Amino acid sequence: MRKIKKITSIVLSLLLLTLSSSVQAEEGGSRLAKARSGSAIAQSDNTVNQTLVNIGAVAMWAYAAGNTSAYPLGGSTGGMYFPRGNNPLTWVMFTDGIIWGGIVNDGIEPAVRVGGQAFSNGTVPGAILSKGVAEDRSDVQNVDRIWRIRRDFASALNADLVLDAAENFIIQPTAVTAGQIQTIRDRYREDWVDWPTHKGAPFYDADGDGEYNPQFDANGLPILFPDGDEPGYANGDQVAWSVSNDLNETAVAGLYGSPPIGMEQQLTMWAYRRADALGNVIFKQFRVIYKGRADTPANATIDSMYFCQWADPDLGSGGDDFVGCDTTLDLGFVYNAVASDAQFAPNGLAPAASGFDFFAGPAVPDENATAIIGLKEVPGFRNLPMSTFFFFASGQTDSDPTNNGPYQGTLQFWNLLRGFKPRPETPPTPWVNNEGNVTRFRVAGDPVAGTGDIDANQGDRRMGQVAGPFTMALGDTSELVVAALAALGSDRLSSVAVLKFFDKTAQDAFDNLFELPSPPPTPPLNATEFGNEILLEWGSDPALVAAVESFAKKGHTFQGYNVFQLPSSGAGKSQGIRLATYDIIDEVTVVSQDDFDAVSGLVLQLPVQFGSNSGIRHSLRITRDAFREAPLANGTPYYFGISAYSSNPDPDAVLKTLESTMAVVVVVPQTEKPGERLHTAMGDTLTGIVHNGISDGDVQVIVVDPTKVTGDNYSVTFRIDTVSVDLHDPEHPEYETQDVWDLTNTTTNEVKLTGQTNQTGDDTYLITDGLMVKVFGAPQDWLRMANGDPAIIEVANENGPLAEADWDGNGTPFGGNNVWHSLNAGGYSDRYFVSTSSADESAMRFTPSILVPFDWEIRFSDAGSMAYWGYTSLGTGSVPFELWNVGMATFDDASDDYRCIPWMFEGAGTADAYTPDHGVDGAFGYPAFDRIYWRVPAEGSTYDDFAAAVNSGGDFVAHIGGEVLGRLLVCDFDENGLPPVSGTIIRIHSTKPNTANDSFTFSTDGYEPSSSSQLAKNDIKQINVFPNPYYGMHRNETDYFDRYVTFNHLPERAVLRIFSLAGTLVRTIEKDDPSQFAQWDMLNENGLPAASGIYFVHVEMDDLNVNKKLKLAIIREQQYLRRY
């Protein structure tokens, strides 16, 4: 930062304070005044002339005048934040801009001129309409304005816009209101509608008519390209655009003393909401158009033209920085000179690194090359690389060119552009590196390896990257694409290595014109606080969950979720602790790809996703602090994030996985609020579920969030629907009809979930009204008795249907007598049981898709059936039974019955005859008749067709279809050699699926939270303040200036009056919010720190007509003057 930033003269401060109320600086004065009011975004009723590009991990202020990275409130704070969301704020740049300079051949002296933006702005808002005529920048609606759009502005969750609002309004995220979020959303919409394509702002033209005509659907959502015109560039998730010019003589002279040239600057900035390298980059495309002054002749040219990306990099604290450049990457960067930085350390972070890269320099003719211009490959040109990197330190011999008027500043910067020292102006003096060699690239060594020419003597730096020379004629446009990026490693030097890795990745993306796969959408994350525990859930918004879990683009498909605990709301996943990964059960588990290894400093093939086939879940209960390895503490804020990741099975894919940005929540564990009571706990299972129907499915209702339970009644119903069964290829989906289920709140008649297909009973179900309703489909299996054996039941004998007196305990639910490994009803002419060749059922087999959901019968009869001994003799013969499909629990309705074909195996016995010489069964060793294999008729055939073919000698095998079940043995218990008597019916039951004839109902009445004023009055006994005593500091404070105590168990509305021991009113705090907490920053009403001592706190709760008194002891730490 500039040395003048450190001046704290009281006289100067008072003078500036006086002037600020009556005088506005040529540029920025009105912004500064209004930003200080806490309304940084609300520059006027109509528009804004400052905003942030802040959708990724980096945030950068940008202004209508064309400058960037300057903090609106001034002071020593930088305006390029990284990582975002930290408290205290962490930044990597103080300010930056583009400088151009050349020899202007327009007949006006001096010919050598520079313009652009540095500490002063040589540009003002507005386009150049014609030579020497600019737009009126007093028009705040159309000229003194910067436009900003975000593709998902209308559909983004409020939680996604909290940090955006906090940064724009310059407040803490916890202080953001719903109204401020709506202001941000409204601003995005206005800029979407007003996007100034007529001035040159880029857009996607859906119909190719050259006109920008944005459209919105019935829900107010913008219709995106290719279905409608859309503002934006490079598929950026957020884009900002401004236009400025250098025709204001006062402004351009205030930069370095030059007269105007007649340049229009169009600045397009864009960024991506990604968790990879692109999420750490803000792209800036400068289109500089030589439109001329009023007196510029038609044949005017600019020779030896240069562009310079100039910056004052302050990496947190500005006095301990180093800079460097990498000529192989066209990268200039800043890194910390010492191991710790005063801004990063309170956030538990190592110092970051940051810099700028020339992704595409100005294009010059070259018949053997191809340039990138306007994100298109243009043959016959090449992009100029970085031609010079300079730096200097504030206050040292080679310091800032003279600005604010003298023309010598122009000559000094002209020297810098050409690779010389700024002083003396003439003759130019070359730079000499630390090795004694003349160079145009200062500090081009490798600080990570500690080799070559590297920076020394830490301090406040300035740096510039130059591309040139080239020429421009009046009317020409030249383009420069710069990437501003930041990275965080495990220490100051590894941050440089990460920065270079990110830079290479981003350069590759640019060189491929951003034709890249995108990560899955960010999951919706919600949190609920309980006493010493926290619930995280991301499964209560069906539409958003579907958007995440059906993600499939360019070979990447959704694979799983990662859940993290973070040290702060702005921390990235690398600073967090991964608490859980929930991934799809498939063959993909650990996913590896090229990534930066902070230990070795190399790019290695590393595991980056750690799936374990755990299955997808949508909630996590947390009871311990992963950082402190201790239980969660009530009243302490904790930070959690969730991301979704994809996988790509293509072995040739460079990116095997992509991960979304994290959704982050701040959660404070706490007991129930005054007067409130919960009547369930996380994980409780509701009882009293009523099933109407015959299915063997089930419903289980688990309480996920007790605070959301409604007390209403619900029903689960089933229907047939057409659903997609190929979510991984949405361009070529497949469909089938299947049973789906709906969940309806029958109290409100609101359908809560619709078209659900999951009936597995796993943990992937969505969450509704605090409940996870698990629907279990029937297993494709035998219907089983209470003892777990298959339900094979004798329902009739020679006397007809069994009387209830003949039923046994296992067979009673099925209306008969169990004969699986159990004798038939006694007192009749024959004794038998059913078994198989193994001691248990394992030898018996069935085809689930045919067996289920039907019931089957063996009917012993005098007529019997024709059968086929298809495994050995291939002969046919008669058997004394018939095999039947009797429908789905429709035993009294013969209209849906059909006869099946017996397929037999004689084992050790006689072929082609049903005799008890097959061998013995595997359970008890009794003689068994031939094995029975159940076969359905082939499609279009019947049993009668099969029998007729047997009798006629025809091709009877053609009438035999698939196997229902096999290896069933009827065993001759009384060893009389006779099968069960005619009239015996053995019924085999299979499970029944949930169908439209089934429903499940349940009630949450009595489980919902309750509250009462009487309980609230009783609960005020728990009102407390912590820490008490306050002894110097506590662990939740983030820095020396963030001092506070917290009151808890407060009702929604309360007034806290804090008195000194002498009875003097020190501070009044009015609480009016749903939280049970209120904080006192230990300042008095005048904003001065309260002294050490004893304080009395009167808590007035008028709604409850009660008061509470507390005592608080404050022991201040010894104070030292830290800033001067």
Report how far apart, in Å, the C-alpha atoms of 183 and of each of 41, 151, 154, 945 are: 9, 16, 12, 77
Is residue 786 domain-resident? no
Q: Which residue has the tokens 């003057």?
A: 1121
Please report, for residues 675, 762, 1017, 1063, 1084, the alpha-carbon distance to residue 1097 in angstroms, rounded to integers and kept in the order given.
22, 52, 18, 11, 13
Cα dihedral across residues 74, 76, 80, 82: positive or negative: negative
Cα gap 562→774, rounded to integer Å: 23
What letter represents residue 206's amino acid? A
Are 959 and 1069 members of one domain?
no
Nearest to 522 by CA among 641, 617, 643: 643
CA–CA dist 286, 265 (Å, integer): 7
Does 53 map to a domain?
A: yes
Whether residues 80 and 157 fall in one domain: yes
* Residues 574/596, Cβ–Cβ less than 8 Å: no
Say how many C-beta atoms besides its own lie within 10 A of residue 232's C-beta.
23
User: Strand 1030-1031 to strand 1106-1115: parallel, antiparallel, or no bridges (unpaired)?
Assistant: parallel
Tokens representing 629 are 């390895």
Contact 54, 62 (CB under 8 A): no
Q: Do the domain assignments include residue 520?
A: no
CA-nearest of 127, 129, 389, 399 to 267 is 127
Q: Which residue in 386, 365, 363, 367 sits closest to 375, CA to CA?
A: 363
Based on the fold, state whether residues 733 and 873 are members of the same structural domain: no
Are 448 and 316 a contacting pair, CB within 8 Å?
A: no
Does residue 948 sit in the same domain as residue 1067?
no
Is 767 within 8 Å of 705 (Cβ atoms)?
A: yes
At 817, the amino acid letter reads: N
Same domain, 666 and 768: no
Strand order in the sheet with 1024-1026: 1024-1026, 1045-1048, 1078-1080
DSSP 768: B
- SS3 of 238-266: the string is EEEEEEEECCCHHHHHHHHCCCCCCEEEE
Identity at 1093, one-letter amino acid code: G
Residue 687 lies in a domain: no
State the Cα torsion 611-614-615-620 to the nearest 10°: -100
Of 406, 445, 446, 444, the closest CA to residue 422 belongs to 406
Q: Are residues 535 and 652 in the same domain?
A: yes
CA–CA dist 517, 504 (Å, integer)? 17
Across 281-425, the runs of DSSP E, i.e. the strands, are 281-290, 301-312, 321-326, 331-336, 353-360, 363-373, 376-383, 388-393
Number of domains forming the structure of the chain: 5
* β-bridge pairing 1053-1060 and 1093-1101: antiparallel
Q: How far apart are CA 713 and CA 746, in angstroms?
A: 5
Neighbours of 752 (CB within 10 A): 18
Q: Which domain holds residue 257?
A: 3-509
Do 445 and 531 lie in one domain? The reply is no
The rounded distance, in Å, linking the Cα atoms of 39 and 22 is: 19
Q: Are 288 and 307 within 8 A, CB to CB? A: yes
CA distance 315 to 353: 7
| Residue owning tokens 């995220």 | 173
Instruction: Please tell me the distance from the alpha carbon of residue 84 to that of residue 87, in angstroms, as a whole number.
Output: 9
Q: Is 652 exposed, middle or buried (0-12, 13-18, 19+ CB in 10 A)?
A: exposed
Report the alpha-carbon distance of residue 452 to residue 909 in Å, rounded: 93
- Residue 867 maps to a domain: yes
688, part of any domain: no
Q: CA torsion 157→161→162→166, rounded to 10°?
A: -170
Closest among 709, 752, 799, 795 to 808, alpha carbons compared: 795
Q: Do 816 and 794 touch, CB atoms closer than 8 A?
A: yes
Together in a domain, 396 and 457: yes
DSSP per-residue codes, 196-233: -GGGT--EE-SSSSS-----B-TTSPBPPTTTS-EE-S
Domain harbouring 1060, CATH code: 2.60.40.10
Rounded to whole angstroms, what are the CA distances from 947 to 894, 940, 1089? 21, 15, 102
CA dist 967 and 665 (Å) reads: 59
**Could you tell me how far CA 280 lies from the centroid of its own chain?**
15
Phi, psi of 368 (to 5 degrees): -100, 15
Domain boundary among the residues 480, 509, 538 is at 509
Distances (CA, A) of 146 to 31, 168, 188, 309, 1030: 13, 13, 11, 20, 47
Give, as one character, the DSSP assignment of residue 1065: E
Identify whether residues 365 and 485 lie together within a single domain.
yes
* Assigned domain for 686 exists: no
Cα 376–chain centre separation: 31
Sheet containing 690-692: order of strands: 690-692, 999-1003, 713-724, 735-745, 750-756
Last residue of a domain, one of 457, 483, 509: 509
Same domain? 741 vs 870: no
pLDDT at 789: 96
459 CB neighbour count, 10 Å cutoff:
17
Q: What is the pLDDT of residue 502?
A: 94
**Of 1095, 1096, 1088, 1097, which Cα lies nearest the Cα of 1114?**
1095
Q: Do both 425 and 571 map to the same domain?
A: no
Pair of tokens at residue 349: 């972070």
The answer to whether position 553 is within a domain reads yes
Q: Which of 988, 1023, 1048 represents a domain boundary (last residue)?
A: 988
- Residue 1061: alpha-carbon gap to chain centroid: 51
Query: Under a CB-based contact definition with an 8 Å cutoff, are residues 549 and 592 in contact?
Result: no
CATH number of the domain bearing residue 615 = 2.60.40
Residue 641 sits in the same domain as residue 774: no
pLDDT at 652: 82
pTM of the model: 0.69
What is the per-residue pLDDT for 729? Answer: 56
List the structure tokens of 659: 């991960």
Instruction: Round to whole Å and give the CA distance between 724 and 736.
Output: 7
Token representation of residue 772 = 């996870």
> pLDDT under 50 in the chain at which residues?
2-39, 41-46, 1120-1124
